Structure 1
Amino acid sequence: MRLLPRLRDRWLLQRIPPGPSVRLDQRRIFIMPTAIGLAYLVAMLLMLLAAINYQNSLAYALTFLLGSVFVVTILHTWRNLAGLVLQAGGAEAVFLGEHARLRVRLESPTRTYQAVALGWPKSGLQVIDVPPGGTCEVELSLPTERRGWLRPGRLRVESRFPLGILVAWSWVDLQLAALVYPNPQEAELPPTIGALGDEEGARASGRGVDDYQGLRQWQPGDSRRRLHWKAYSRGQGLLVKDFAALAGQEPMLDLDALGGDLESRLSVLCHWVVELSARLQPFSLIIDGQQIGPDQGAEHRAQCLRALALFGSQQERTA
């Protein structure tokens, strides 16, 4: 049973090779009747048998007319995909459990493309019209099931325009990928993971040593305990209490110093990377025998989260 999918994938790889941009042509478009189209053909066959049996000229004329409509529809359905250019538009990194959003651009060199559907069958297809000589960008959503690189594979593009009795489709591989960070899990860090240097800094990760700075907008990974519910009830949105660590304290996050299974430890470190970055607190991350930092800022945050997402995976070498 697994042989057929492998043969299909190998055949598609030769016929439609992967790439960041794909133009649909006659080699890359397939077409066949839909369920409605099959019923349409059966009805025409019955009408033809009735016309032959009764030698009715009007029945002949109607049958041939419907047959001509079917043939013309083949051309128009195929033309509604022919020449369409699809380009990979990138994707933002997300946390495990969130939906990854991958962008695809559709470009029309000359004419209008109507009711073009694209996506993955398990997440549903989105329908869009592409204006002549213009471009459209579609954001496709996929659930995340594990950390690391999410590579959804081949994308289905199809059209049932204009009558729905035929479907033209193609499977294109735009090499879409989205980075999935671990799911932030709130937990206290052990005393051994503290500030670099002295024991006083090592206690910086505990409660009661940070200075209250005010309120800021909620971000993924923020602790629910710090949500300011009064502000939310007044319609000010989700705000969290912001704290800044005392000067000179630079926490060091070490994966090996935590207990529990690997995914739980990565989730805890992910939470603290997000938390310390939100406080603008410099910190270091020790993972896989390497130390990142001490540093702060968006670039340092992204570097640490990427290291957590790809830890223990071969995907980092192929990214």
Structure 2
Amino acid sequence: MIRSRWARWLARRIPAATRVQLNQRRIFIMPNRVGAAFSVMQILLLLAAINYENSLAYGLTFLLASVFVVAILHTYRNFTGLILKAGISGAVFVGEQARFRVRLESDGRAHQAVALGWPPASLQMVDVPANGQSECELDMPAQQRGWLRPQRLRVESRFPLGILVAWSWVDLDQAVLVYPRPLAGDLPLASGGSPDEQDEGARATGQGADDYQGLKTYQPGDNRRRLHWKAYSRGQGLLVKDFAALAGRDLWLDLQGVEGDLETRLSLLCYWVLQLDAGQQAYGLRLPGMELAPDYGETHREACLRALALYGLMP
């Protein structure tokens, strides 16, 4: 209950945004363990000064108290005005480390020894130059498919004396799409078209990976995985292997045609999306309630992987 109330209070005080600038409403400052020991020492010095009526002890006590107050001002000054922006983060597969990019910018003054991260993991420390910016990458394990949305980011600084810590909890509204983990297996194939089109009377047409047509001269944009290095070593120039697709044999990756639990089936389809895309073979994807027509290329691959990552999950 306390944590939920704390989260609601933070959401009101520091709402989620892709750009957050720290100010007096968003900064908290308290003595850390070193600062607490420093305060206890001052109290003991004050008691000793009162007991022995020693002017030097009084002077040292008040001097240290002044240093403590000045440290509060400088710790706050080093932290206030810092701007945090969410960077662009790419998609990953289950089991990989999702990388969240955060950009820190200065509003004029330099910001020293700024640490950020997600406790209990260690925080990453950066310095932000005056009128400049710094960028850091924060890693988080991707353990399940779908959208990975991290908790609030802790940003803190103990500059200059290390006896006080100024911190804030910011939500940069970041998310990384996590694809299923690719799982090798037999091709879960469902052929499109009529039975007559699936017989041996199918003809080669267009670019694909079904029928070997011979060698052709390399052109910019051709798949480099099909380079014929033996011909190149014989001095015949840079050639690539030419394949053609068979008409009437559209490849469909169908979730209903795969056995196993849901995550295993999605992982298998993910593997074959990557394999067919690498071979520039046109393929389609069928999921209950969704169908992506046969195609190939980066846009089609990303659409299929996204559909697999979000299938069956709440929006």
Tell me the TM-score normalized by structure 1.
0.83
Residues 128-207 of structure 1 aligned to structure 2 (within 5 Å): 128-190=126-188, 192-194=189-191, 197-198=197-198
Does structure 1 retain, via aligned residues, the 8 Å contact 2:88–2:100? yes
Select which of 66, 78, 97 maps to 2:64. Answer: 66
Compute the displacement of 1:300 (Å): 0.5
Q: CA deviation at 1:288?
A: 2.6
In 2, the alpha carbon distance for the partners of 1:120 and 1:29 equals: 17
Q: Percent identity?
A: 56
Matches within 5 A, 1:232-251: 247-248=245-246, 249-251=249-251
Provide Cα deviations, 1:168-209, integer angstroms capped at 9, x if missing partner.
00001110100000000001124x53565515699xxxxxx7
Alignment match, 1:291: 291
Structure 2 CA distance for aligned equivalents of residues 27 and 243 of structure 1: 64
What's the CA shift for 1:273? 0.5
Task: In structure 1, list runs of 5 or more residues that go unmatched.
Answer: 203-208, 217-241
Residues 293 and 300 of structure 1 are in contact (CA less than 8 Å); yes or no, is this contact kept in structure 2? no
* CA contact 1:181–1:306 (8 Å) conserved in 2: yes
Aligned residue number for residue 77 of structure 2: 79
Cα separation, partners in 2 of 1:210 and 1:77, compared to 1, 3 Å: farther
Counterpart residue number, 1:313: 313
- On the 8 A contact 1:252/1:283 being kept in 2, the answer is yes
Higher Cα radius of gyration: 2
TM-score by length of 2: 0.84
Aligned pair count reads 283
Q: Could you tell me whether the CA contact under 8 Å between 1:277 and 1:297 is conserved in 2?
A: yes
Residue of 30, 37, 41 corresponding to 2:39: 41
Paired residues of 1:153 and 1:175 also in contact (CA < 8 A): no
Instruction: Assess, with a 3 A threshold, how the Cα gap between structure 1 residues 245 and 11 changes in structure 2: closer, same or farther.
Output: farther
Q: 2:207 is matched with which residue?
A: none
**Residue 126 (structure 1) aligns with:** 124
On the 8 A contact 1:150/1:179 being kept in 2, the answer is: yes
Deviates more, 1:246-255 or 1:167-176: 246-255
- Structure 1 residue 210 displacement after superposition: 7.6
**Which amino acid is 1:284 matched to?**
G
State how 1:225-264 maps to structure 2 within 5 Å. Answer: 247-248=245-246, 249-264=249-264
In the alignment, the residues of structure 2 paired with residue 182 and residue 200 of structure 1 have an alpha-carbon distance, to the nearest angstrom, of: 35
Deviations 1:133-189 (A, max 9, x none): 111111111001110000003111100111111100000111010000000000112
CA distance in 1, matches of 2:139, 2:201: 43
- Three-state SS of the structure 2 residue aligned to 1:90 is coil
Q: Give the superposition deviation at 1:60.
A: 1.1
C-alpha distance 161-243 of structure 1, shift in aligned 2 (>3 A) = farther
Aligned to 2:2: 4
Supply the distance in 2 between the matched residues of 1:271 and 1:277 (Cα, whole angstroms): 10
Distance 1:199 1:291, change over 3 A: farther
CA contact (8 A) 1:194 1:201 kept: no
Tell me how far apart the structure 1 counterparts of residues 55 and 201 of structure 2 sit (CA, whole Å). Answer: 97
1:79 to 1:288, Cα distance in 2 relative to 1, 3 A: farther
Structure 2 unmatched runs, 5+: 203-209, 216-222, 226-239
Q: Which amino acid aligns with 2:138?
A: L
Q: Distance in 2 between matches of 1:285 and 1:301?
A: 10
1:238 corresponds in structure 2 to none
User: What is the CA-CA distance between 1:290 and the residue it aligns to?
Assistant: 2.1
- Displacement of 1:36: 0.8
- What secondary structure is seen at the aligned counterpart in 1 of 2:99? strand
Q: Which amino acid aligns with 1:27?
A: R
> How many angstroms apart in 2 are the aligned matches of 1:173 and 1:123?
17
Q: Is the 8 A contact 2:16 2:171 kept in 1?
A: yes
Q: Secondary structure at the match of 1:169?
A: strand
- Cα distance in structure 2, aligned partners of 1:124 and 1:244: 52
Residues in 1 aligned to 2:38 and 2:183: alpha-carbon distance in whole angstroms: 56
- Tell me, in whole angstroms, the C-alpha distance in 2 between the residues paired with 1:305 and 1:94: 10
Distance 1:114 1:262 in 2: 49
Q: Aligned partners of 1:80 and 1:143: how far apart in 2?
A: 32
2:93 equivalent in structure 1: 95
The answer on whether the counterparts of 1:273 and 1:304 sit within 8 Å (CA) in structure 2 is yes
How far is the alpha carbon of 1:59 from its aligned partner? 1.1
The answer for the alignment partner of 1:232 in structure 2 is: none
> 2: distance between equivalents of 1:244 and 1:187?
26
Contact kept, 8 Å, 1:16 with 1:172, in 2: the verdict is yes
